[in-house]
Structure 1
Amino acid sequence: MIIVSTHNQPVEIDFIFVLLISNKLYTATLIITIIP
């Protein structure tokens, strides 16, 4: 997980990290769905 030592909000960092991963998975799903 991405943890920024200068901030005291690791939960928010993880939330943003999860959003980025979900966005990539969503995009990959769209591409896989469109190509066939």
Structure 2
Amino acid sequence: MDALGPYTRWAVVFLIIFVLFFLLVPTYVRTCTTTPVY
């Protein structure tokens, strides 16, 4: 599990960033354009 430690940490960080982007980008676009995209 020592070899998988850094990889797992990077995967978790990448997932968190991806989720944050997925949640923040649509709201940012909505506030900028003020028109429903979906």
TM-score band w.r.t. shorter chain:
0.5 to 0.7
Higher relative contact order (CA 8 A, sep 6+): 1
Instruction: Return the TM-score normalized by structure 2.
Output: 0.60
Gaps (5+ residues) in structure 1? none
Runs of 4+ in 1 over 3 A off after TM superposition: none
Instruction: Return the TM-score normalized by structure 1.
Output: 0.61
Aligned residue pair count: 31
Quick one: percent identity of the two aligned structures? 13
Gaps (5+ residues) in structure 2? 32-38
- Highest CA radius of gyration, 1 or 2? 2
